[in-house]
Structure 1
Amino acid sequence: MKIIQPGAPQSTPDPNRFKVALPSFLGRGGCDIDVFSSGLKLIVMNTVLHQPIQIQRTIAEPFVGIGFCMAGEFDVSFMPSKTQSNIRAGQSGLYTYPQDIEISEYLPVDHMLRIYLMLEGDLLSSFTQGDEDYFSPVIKSFEKKRSNRMVHATTHLMRAVLYQILHCPYCGKARHLYLESKAMELLSHKLAQLQPSYICPGNELKHSDYDRVIYAAKSLVDNLDNPPNTKELARSVGLSCSKLNRYFRRVYGVTPFEYLRNHRLQTAMQLLQSGEINVTEAALSVGYANLSYFSKAFKTMFGVPPGEFLHNSTPN
C-alpha cells in the first residue's frame, strides 16, 4: 500500500475556492475546497483509485469536522490514541480534532465520494451559544482538547442537501452564496441529529403520539410502491388527519406525503447510484408509474435529472 501526504491546495480564479488533484498514477478525481467568511469550509472529495493508498496528515490547529460518506468505504485511525474506525457509505459523523493529532486514512481501490464541513477554532461553540446544555458533550470534548467521534446515519434531509451541493446550478458569487447556505443547512441538520429532543418549546409530543408518528413513517417506508393514503394512515395509528399532519411535522419537519416523496426519491437515487438499474426501473421500484413526473420530482430535489445523475456519479 502506497503512503502519501495530501497535496497542497492550488488556487483558482475564484479567491475563495481551491483544488487538490489526485496524481494520475494513483487514480482520477481530487478535492474541491470552498472557504466562507462565516468560518466554514466545504470540502468535496471525489476520487477513483487505481491502487490502495494510505493518506497521512498532521492536524496543526484544533477544529471540528462533520463528514458525510456518500460512496465507498475506508478505515481511519488517530494517533496517539491508536483508535481505528471503519467508515461506510450512508454514514455521517461529527469529529473533534485537538491540536497536533496524526490521522491516517486507508483507502481501497474504489470510487470514493465524501463531503466535509470544517469548523475552525471555537466556531461550533459560537453556533450553539445559549444552548450549551443541549450540546455540552460535544463542546466539552473539544474544550478538553481530545479527539471525539459521533457517527450516525445520513438522513434523507441531509442527502437532499448533499446532492444539491454536488449539482450546484450557479457560478461565481451566486455559487459561493448558494454553497454557504447549503453548508449552514447541513450544519443545522447535524446539530438536530445530535440532540433529537432539541425542539422548540410548545412543540413537545406525548410519548404515545410520538410512537404513533414513528409507526406511521415505518408504514410509508415499508410500502413505497403502494402506500396508504392519508386517511388510511391516520386511521391505522389512531389519529385524525389534521393531528397526524401536525405531529408528523413536529417529528420530521415535513408532512407524511412529503416524507414519502423524499424517501422514494432517496431510494431511487441510491438505486441509480448502484449502476445496476436504469431510470425507468428505479422509478417503478419506488412507486412512480409516470416517468415524466418522477424525473421532474428528482430534479427538484437533487438539482439534476435522473438520467444525467447516472453520468455524474463518478469523477471524470
Structure 2
Amino acid sequence: MNSKNREYFNSQLKVSVQGHGRALLQPLQCDEDGLTVVAAGPYGNLVFREILCEDYTLLHNTYSCREDMTVSYSVPGPFLGFHFAVRNDINYTTPGLPGGVIFRNQYNMFYLPEMESTRTFRGEQEYESFIIHFTPAYLKRWEEPFPLLSAFLDSLGSTPAQINRANMSATPEMMAIIQHILQCTYTGKIRRMFLQAKVLELLMLALQNITPEGNFVRPLRRHSDIERIEEARQYLVANLEEPCTLDELAQKVGINVFKLKVGFKQVYGTTVFALLTEERMQRAIHLLRDTDKLVVEVSEAVGYKNLPNFTSAFKRRFGFTPSAVKQGQ
C-alpha cells in the first residue's frame, strides 16, 4: 500500500448489515493501484473498489440489494473529500451531520474525524457511489482561487463538517468525468497522468459549482415526494408524442409545480424540459435508425408538430440532421 494514502483503505474497512451482523469482506482484486473487496449474503452483493493515487484515493462502491437493508461501516482516521451519488438516491446517517439523502447526481464535500456512516437501501435495486478522499495538503494548493475551500479547510477541527449545508447537483460534465475515470483502461504512468488530469478537472468544476451563500433549496426528504418525481419522469417518457405543461404534469402526480421543478433538479440533476428534450432525441434517433418511419413521422412521434423545430433540435443535439441518419451518412 502507498503510505501517502494513509487515511482510507479497504483493508481497514469494517462493514455490518443490519439483521445479518458483520459482513465478511473478501479480496476480489489487489494490485499496485489498490484493492477491491466484496461482501455477499442473502442481502445482496457489496463491492468496494479503491484506486490509490499520489494525493488522493478514489473509491467506487456498488450495492446490489436483494432486500431492504441498512449498512454501517467505519474506517479508522479522518476523511476529507467529495461524495457523489452515481446511481439511485442514497439515504445516509453520519454522526455529527444532519444526514438525509444524496439524490442521484448530487454531491457534497465532507470532513469526518472518524469515518463512520450508515446507509439505507431498498431491496431489488442497485446503488452506486463515487468518492474522492483527498490529502489536506493537496486541497490546500487550490485555496487561493477558491476562497470557500480555504475557509472550509481553516474551519476543520474535531467535529464533522460539510462544505455546503445542502447537497449540490452535479453537472452532466462532472458525471461524465466520473465515468471516464471509472472506465479508464490505461496502465502505468499514462494511467496516473490521466487520473491526475481528470480528478483535477472534476475538483475545479465541483468547487466552481458551490455558491458563496450556500442558499440551496432544502432537498426533498419524504420518500413519497421522491416517488412522485420518479412517476412524473415515467409519465413524460411514456407520452413523448403528447407532452403536457408543468401544471398538468404536477397535477397528474399530485405535487405542486415548485416542488416538481426543484425535485427534478435534485433527483435527476436537470430540468423537466431538458430531460424531456433528451428523451425525445434518444427516441428519435432510435426510430430513424431502426424503423422505416419517415422524418416527419418521427417528428410527430416524439412530440414535434413543426418539422423545422424538430430538425433544429436534433441537429443541435447530435451535430447532424435527421435526414442524414435516414440516408446512412
Check the 8 A contact 2:144/2:150 in 1, yes or no.
no
Residue type at the aligned position of 1:148: A
Asked if 1:64 corresponds to 2:80, the answer is yes
- Match in the other structure for 1:145: 158
1:86-112 C-alpha deviation (Å, 9 max, x unpaired): 1211211111112x3532111222211
Structure 1 match to 2:122: 108
Once residues 270 and 146 of structure 1 are traced to their aligned partners in structure 2, the CA distance between those partners, rounded to angstroms, is 47
1:138-166 CA distances to partner (integer Å, 9 max, x unpaired)?
Answer: 21332x23212222001122022122223
CA root-mean-square deviation: 3.9
Cα gap change, 1:10/1:176 in structure 2, threshold over 3 Å: closer, same or farther?
A: farther
1:158 corresponds to which letter in structure 2? M
Per-residue deviation, 1:83: 3.3
Structure 2 CA distance for aligned equivalents of residues 282 and 4 of structure 1: 53
Compared CA separation, residues 190 and 4, structure 1 to 2 (3 A): farther
Within the candidate set 50, 57, 70, 1:33 is matched to 50
Native 8 Å contact 2:60 2:128 kept in 1: yes
Question: How far is the alpha carbon of 1:66 from its aligned partner?
Answer: 0.4
Residues 252-297 of structure 1, C-alpha deviations (whole Å, 9 max, x = no match): xxxxxxxxxxx9799749998xxxx696269986933699868xxx
Structure 2 counterpart of 1:304 = none
In the TM superposition, residue 69 of structure 1 has moved relative to its aligned partner by: 0.9
Q: CA shift at 1:28, angstroms?
A: 4.0
Checking the alignment, whether the CA contact within 8 Å between 1:62 and 1:121 is kept in structure 2 is no
> Contact 1:72/1:112 (CA < 8 Å) preserved in 2?
yes
Correspondences of 1:118-267 after superposition (within 5 Å): 118-124=133-139, 126-131=140-145, 133-142=147-156, 144-149=157-162, 150=164, 151-168=167-184, 170-173=185-188, 174-195=190-211
Change (3 A) 1:131 1:184: closer
2:281–2:317: 8 Å Cα contact kept in structure 1? no
**Offset, 1:117:** 0.6
Q: What amino acid is aligned across from residue 32 of structure 1 in structure 2?
A: R
Which segment drifts farther, 110-119 or 45-54?
A: 45-54
Number of positions where the alignment pairs a residue of Structure 1 with one of Structure 2: 220
User: Aligned partners of 1:51 and 1:102: how far apart in 2?
Assistant: 23
Secondary structure, aligned partner of 2:40: coil
Say if 2:132 is the partner of 1:117.
Answer: yes
Structure (1 or 2) with the larger CA radius of gyration: 2
The AA in structure 1 aligned to 2:286 is T
* Higher RCO (C-alpha under 8 Å, 6+ residues apart): 1
* Separation in structure 2 between the aligned mates of residue 196 and residue 270 of structure 1, nearest angstrom: 36
Unaligned runs of 5+ in 2: 1-17, 214-272, 290-298, 303-309, 321-329
TM-score (norm 2): 0.55
Distance 1:36 1:167 in 2: 16
Q: Tell me the SS of whatever aligns to 1:23.
A: strand
The worse-fitting range, judged by mean Cα deviation, of 9-18 and 157-166 is 9-18
Deviation at 1:59, TM superposition (A): 4.2
Offset, 1:118: 0.7
Cα distance per residue 1:61-95 (max 9 Å; x no partner): 1221201112112211122x373211211211111
C-alpha contact (below 8 Å) 1:67/1:92 kept by paired residues: yes
- Inter-partner Cα distance in structure 2 for 1:71 and 1:134: 28
**Which letter does structure 1 place at the counterpart of 2:200?**
M
Helix, strand or coil: the match of 1:165? helix
Q: CA separation in 1, counterparts of 2:277 and 2:175?
A: 11
